[in-house]
Structure 1
Amino acid sequence: MKNRIFYKAPSGATADIIPFFDKESFHLFYLHDFRDVANHGEGTPWYHLETRNFVDYKALGEALPRGMVNDQDLYVFTGCVIKTDQKYHIFYTGHNPHFRKDGKPEQAVMHAISDDLSNWTKLPEDTFFSPLEGYEPNDWRDPFVFFNEEKKEYWMLLAARKKNGGSVRRGCTALCTSTDLKKWMVAEPLWEPHYHYTHECPDLFKIGKWWYLIYSEFSDKRMTRYRMARNLSGPWYAPKDDQFDGRSYYAAKSASDGGIRALFGWVPTKTNNEDAGSWQWGGNLVAHEIFQRKNGELGERPLKSIKKHLSKKTLYFSDTIDVDATGRCEFKKIDIQLPETYMISLDINMSKYTNRAGVSLRRNHTKDEGYVYIFDASRQRFAFDRFPNSPWHLENFQGVSRHLLVIPRKKYHLDIIVEGDVCVAYVDDNIALSSRMHQNEGQPPALFSIDGKTSFSNIKITTD
Structure 2
Amino acid sequence: MQLFYTPQHARVGDVIPYYEDGKFHLFYLKNWNPYFGSDRKDGWHLLNTKDMVHYGPETAIGILGGTGSVIKADGIYHLYYCVFEQNPQRQYVCHATSRDLDSWTKHEEETFGPDETIYLPTDWRDPYVFWNEEENCWWMLLCAQSQGKTGRRGCVGLCKSADLHHWECCEPLYAPHASMAAYECPDMFYENGWWYLIFSQFTDRFQTIYRMSRSCHGPWKRPKTDSFDGRAFYAAKSCGDGNHRYLFGWNPTRTQNTWNFDPDPNHEGYDYKTYDWGGTLIPHEIYAREDGTLAVRPNPALKEVLSIQNDVKWAPMNGAWEIGETSAVVDTPYAYASALSENDVPHQGCLALDFTFSEGTERFAVALQVDEEFARGYYFYLDPKRQRLEYKSAIRMHEQGGWTFQYDVELERPLELIPGKTYSMEIYIDESVMEVYVGGTTALSVRAYDLHDRKFGLAVSDGKVRFENIQLITMGG
TM-score (normalizing by structure 2)? 0.89
Shift of 1:22: 1.1
Q: Which amino acid aligns with 1:406?
A: L
Matched residue of 1:306: which SS?
Answer: helix
Shift of 1:373: 1.3
Shift of 1:397: 9.1
Q: Which residue of 2 aligns with 1:413?
A: 424
The 8 Å contact of residues 365 and 458 in structure 2, kept in 1 or not, is answered as yes
Q: Which residue of 2 aligns with 1:427?
A: 438
Q: Which residue of 2 aligns with 1:325?
A: 332
Q: Which residue of 2 aligns with 1:59?
A: 57
Shift of 1:59: 3.1
The CA distance in 2 between the partners of 1:180 and 1:91, in whole Å, is 14
Alpha carbons of structure 1 residues 422 and 37: separation in structure 2 relative to 1, 3 Å? closer
Q: Which residue of 2 aligns with 1:463?
A: 474
Q: Which residue of 1 aligns with 2:272?
A: 276
Shift of 1:355: 1.1
Q: Which residue of 2 aligns with 1:124?
A: 108
Matched residue of 1:331: which SS?
Answer: strand
Shift of 1:279: 1.2
Q: Which residue of 1 aligns with 2:13?
A: 15
Residues 53-100 of structure 1: CA deviation (Å, up to 9, x unaligned) = 11111232212342xxxxxxxxx111001001121111011123xx2x
**How do 1:79-90 and structure 2 match up within 5 A?**
79-90=68-79
**How do 1:42-441 and structure 2 match up within 5 A?**
44-66=42-64, 76-96=65-85, 99=86, 101=87, 103=88, 105-167=89-151, 169-197=152-180, 198-219=182-203, 221-272=205-256, 274-310=270-306, 312-316=307-311, 318-366=325-373, 368-386=375-393, 389-391=397-399, 392-395=402-405, 398-441=409-452
TM-score (normalizing by structure 1)? 0.91
Residues 213-261 of structure 1: CA deviation (Å, up to 9, x unaligned) = 0010131521000000101111110111000111111011010111100
Deviates more, 1:344-353 or 1:170-179: 344-353
The CA distance in 1 between the partners of 2:183 and 2:282, in whole Å, is 20
Matched residue of 1:319: which SS?
Answer: coil
Matched residue of 2:303: which SS?
Answer: helix
Matched residue of 1:27: which SS?
Answer: strand
Aligned length: 446
Q: Which residue of 2 aligns with 1:73?
A: none
The CA distance in 1 between the partners of 2:435 and 2:417, in whole Å, is 19
Shift of 1:153: 1.1
The CA distance in 2 between the partners of 1:60 and 1:18, in whole Å, is 14
The CA distance in 2 between the partners of 1:366 and 1:195, in whole Å, is 46
User: What do you get for the CA RMSD once the two structures are aligned?
Assistant: 2.0
The CA distance in 1 between the partners of 2:223 and 2:437, in whole Å, is 19
The 8 Å contact of residues 425 and 437 in structure 2, kept in 1 or not, is answered as yes
Shift of 1:113: 0.9
Matched residue of 1:308: which SS?
Answer: helix
Residues 168-213 of structure 1: CA deviation (Å, up to 9, x unaligned) = x101111101111111001111111111222110000011100000
The 8 Å contact of residues 364 and 440 in structure 1, kept in 2 or not, is answered as no
Residues 94-141 of structure 1: CA deviation (Å, up to 9, x unaligned) = 123xx2x2x4x5310001111111111211111001123231111001
Matched residue of 1:174: which SS?
Answer: strand
The 8 Å contact of residues 246 and 399 in structure 1, kept in 2 or not, is answered as no
The CA distance in 1 between the partners of 2:10 and 2:178, in whole Å, is 33
The CA distance in 1 between the partners of 2:6 and 2:40, in whole Å, is 20
Matched residue of 1:203: which SS?
Answer: strand
Structure 1 residue runs of 5 or longer lacking an equivalent are: 67-75
Residues 139-173 of structure 1: CA deviation (Å, up to 9, x unaligned) = 00110000111222111000100121321x10111
The CA distance in 2 between the partners of 1:259 and 1:417, in whole Å, is 24
The CA distance in 2 between the partners of 1:397 and 1:437, in whole Å, is 18
Q: Which amino acid aligns with 2:290?
A: K
